[in-house]
Amino acid sequence: MTVDGQAVELKEGMTVYDAVRQAGIGLPVLCHRDGLTPTGGCGICTVEEVTSGRLLPACATRAEASMVIATGSEAAVEFRRTALELLLSNHPADCDAPCQLACPSGLPAQELMERILAGDWEGARVLARRYPFACASAAPCEKACRRKPLGGAVAVCALHRWLAEGEGTGPQEVRQEAGKNKGNLPRFRSRMRGLTEEALLALCSEKGERLLASDATGVTPEAAVYEAARCMRCGCRKPDDCRLRELCAAADAKQSSFAGETRPILRQRSRNGFRFDSSRCVLCGLCVRTAQKAGASLAPAFHGRGFEAQIGPPHGRTWDDIPEAVLAMVAAVCPTGAMTAEAAPSNAGFARNPMSNSQQGNVQPKK
């Protein structure tokens, strides 16, 4: 067959994707992994068969000698971008927490709040001192906080100052560090949008109003835990290890291209540190197929059909019922931040799960 003008010798059982790779040509994939049964469901690997004009999912189409394949045709590229934008239309999630983006020193406030909730005070102090407090009373992180209109922003500055007290770096060094951090971020960034205030508030374990001022002194551990529990946990737990984000950046995809309803947000966690966030799930099925191939008797499964489809534990089970090794395996193969586990590779650097029991909550989207 011919791929982008190159003749490719076919072997029995090859797919179009196999032939493209044999030709040394890169082609984006999201729901496909070597060794797993291909589904072609996401459309990200779509190519054009020039002779017929058909658009084909390369991973799930058997290669034929008569085919003339164009991987970079206008039609194929546009289809792949549209497929990504359709996924983004049901992806009400922040790639990066707004507070961290606004902070002059790039403090990962979400991680700081999790360490406080875990009672890891030494870890919280180390983290706070690694990102010196340098904004005085300006509090840009709190101005960007999504909790601000819902009882006041999380008191990030008060907690940062309290934990970093007695330590710090000069303003010039802080500005350089902040610039370095932000310059390394991918240029694509999705946003948490389309949710009602009620739905947003449901993302917090503490619904009460803010108690600490930005310049508060004499902060107590009890007050710190209260404020930390008010955090919405907007940011992704794998912001630098997200295949969807990489593909959207490369394709110049826009989150705002398609308007519509989003599925209810479900956030769950197991006692062993596994977390599932449905707002980041693209229903690629990699977790299901990976567990099936490994012969796992208890593993993630699809539930529902069409717009109601979702990933979850088997009926009548919880994430706690699934072996920790299986959860680590599926979290590692997840191409987004939908599934994370302590054993899964991640660049987010979050603290160990502070909760000892399974927790879950449903968040309804904006009508």
User: Apex CA 141: angle with CA 139 and CA 146, to 5°?
Assistant: 125
Average pLDDT over residues 210-236: 94
Average pLDDT over residues 102-106: 92
Indicate the residue among 33, 64, 88 that finishes a domain. 88
Q: How far apart are CA 242 and CA 334, in angstroms?
A: 9
Reported confidence tier of residue 353, pLDDT bands at 50, 70, 90: very low
Residues pairing with 68 in the sheet? 2
| Residue 354 pLDDT exceeds 60 | no
Q: How far apart are CA 286 and CA 268, in angstroms?
A: 19
Specify the amino acid at residue 60: A
Domain extent, residue 53, equals 2-88
Indicate the residue among 88, 108, 124 that finishes a domain. 88
129-138, 225-234, 349-358 — most confident range? 225-234
Indicate the residue among 32, 60, 88 that finishes a domain. 88
The per-residue pLDDT for 134 is: 79
More confidently predicted of 356 and 108: 108
Q: How far apart are CA 323 and CA 333, in angstroms?
A: 16
| Residue 326 pLDDT exceeds 50 | yes
Only one residue has tokens 């690629």, namely 284
| Residue 355 pLDDT exceeds 80 | no
Do both 135 and 163 map to the same domain?
Answer: yes
pLDDT, tens digit, 9 for 90 and up, residues 48-71: 999 999 999 999 999 999 999 999
Closest CA to 6 of 79, 67, 77: 67
Reported confidence tier of residue 263, pLDDT bands at 50, 70, 90: confident
The per-residue pLDDT for 185 is: 47
Q: How far apart are CA 213 and CA 65, in angstroms?
A: 70
Please give the share of the chain, as a percent, with pLDDT higher than 70: 87
CATH code of 77's domain: 3.10.20.740
Do both 327 and 187 map to the same domain?
Answer: yes
Specify the amino acid at residue 130: R
Q: Strand 2-3 to strand 68-70: parallel, antiparallel, or no bridges (unpaired)? A: parallel
105, two tokens: 């020193």
| Residue 343 pLDDT exceeds 60 | no
- Give CA separation, 158 vs 99, 132, 137, in Å: 14, 13, 10
Find the range with the poorest average confidence among 125-134, 287-296, 337-346: 337-346
Closest CA to 227 of 214, 240, 244: 214
pLDDT, tens digit, 9 for 90 and up, residues 12-38: 999 999 999 999 999 999 999 999 999
Q: How far apart are CA 316 and CA 35, in angstroms?
A: 30
- Give CA separation, 334 vs 74, 98, 153, 346, in Å: 29, 24, 32, 11
Find the range with the poorest average confidence among 22-36, 51-65, 326-340, 347-361: 347-361
The per-residue pLDDT for 217 is: 85
The per-residue pLDDT for 194 is: 81
Identify whether the C-beta of residue 69 lies closer than 8 Å to the C-beta of residue 50: yes
47, two tokens: 């190519």
Asked if residue 93 is part of any domain, the answer here is no
As for how many domains the chain has, the answer is 2
Asked if residue 287 is part of any domain, the answer here is yes
Do both 144 and 258 map to the same domain?
Answer: yes
Mean pLDDT score of the chain, rounded to an integer? 87
The per-residue pLDDT for 184 is: 53
Only one residue has tokens 């950046």, namely 249
Helices 221-229 and 156-164 pack at an angle, to 10 degrees, of 140
Do both 202 and 342 map to the same domain?
Answer: yes
Do both 27 and 171 map to the same domain?
Answer: no
pLDDT, tens digit, 9 for 90 and up, residues 266-292: 999 999 999 999 999 999 999 999 999
- List strand residue ranges (DSSP E) for the chain, in order: 2-3, 6-7, 46-49, 54-57, 68-70, 265-269, 275-277, 301-303, 310-312, 339-340, 359-363
